Amino acid sequence: MSKFKFVDTGIKDLYIIEPNVFGDNRGYFMETYNKQDFLQAGLTMEFVQDNESKSSKGVLRGLHFQTQHTQGKLVRVTSGEVFDVAVDLRKGSPTYGQWKGVLLTEENKKQFYVPEGFAHGFLVVSDEAVFNYKCTDFYAPEFEGGVMWNDPDIGVEWPLEGINDIILSDKDEKHKSFKELDLPFKY
């Protein structure tokens, strides 16, 4: 029996994954990844890099992708809360240009699998958040790309209530618009 629930998002290959949490008088235990269970659900990717970042409220990291060494990302939050977003950038996909957002929190322990060919980003909605993720390919800064978080054609509905300032990196201030992108991703 799989220790995970793989929830369809309406976008092919993009999943919300809910782990089975075993609580007892000591606290809890959960598996956060299990190759066999993922394989059984049709998720055949292999991970080669694990990352962690910490950010304060209002930090928005995104929307990122790599044009070569494209990365699938299995993401989760171990402290705090973020609104996590994936945008389908695969030409020929029936959901090309569409986005999906999910609240990932320390409490709900949800994970999001963002496959290759998607832009990915998140907004921190708690005072601080620690973000952890596994990637299917290595960081390749020479192939880094991004699209503006507030691109009007993508139209992500970020939960901005209670957030006075959006905090971006210099890199994230300068991304192109969706219309200006010329991407290699195929469905």
Ligand X SMILES: Cc1cn([C@H]2C[C@H](O)[C@@H](COP(=O)(O)OP(=O)(O)O[C@H]3O[C@@H](C)C(=O)[C@@H](O)[C@H]3O)O2)c(=O)[nH]c1=O
Element (H, E) at 38: helix 35-40
Closest approach of ligand X to the CB of residue 158, in Å: 13
For ligand X, which residue of 14, 37, 45, 62 counts as binding (CB under 6 A)? 62
Q: Which stretch binds ligand X (CB under 6 A): 1-9, 37-45, 117-125, 174-182?
A: 117-125
Q: What are phi and psi of 36, to 5 degrees?
A: -65, -45
28 catalytic? Reply is no
Return the percent helix, strand and coil in the chain, to nearest 5: 5, 45, 50
If binding is defined by CB under 6 A, does position 115 make contact with ligand X? Answer: no
Q: Which stretch binds ligand X (CB under 6 A): 27-35, 57-65, 152-160, 173-181?
A: 57-65
Catalytic residue among 15, 113, 120, 133: 133
Residue 147, beta-bridge partner list: 176
If binding is defined by CB under 6 A, does position 61 make contact with ligand X? Answer: yes
Closest approach of ligand X to the CB of residue 59, in Å: 9
Residue 65, beta-bridge partner list: 145
Distance CA 161, CA 125 (A): 9
Type of residue at 113: Y
The residue behind tokens 């990291």 is 61
133 catalytic? Reply is yes
Closest approach of ligand X to the CB of residue 9, in Å: 17
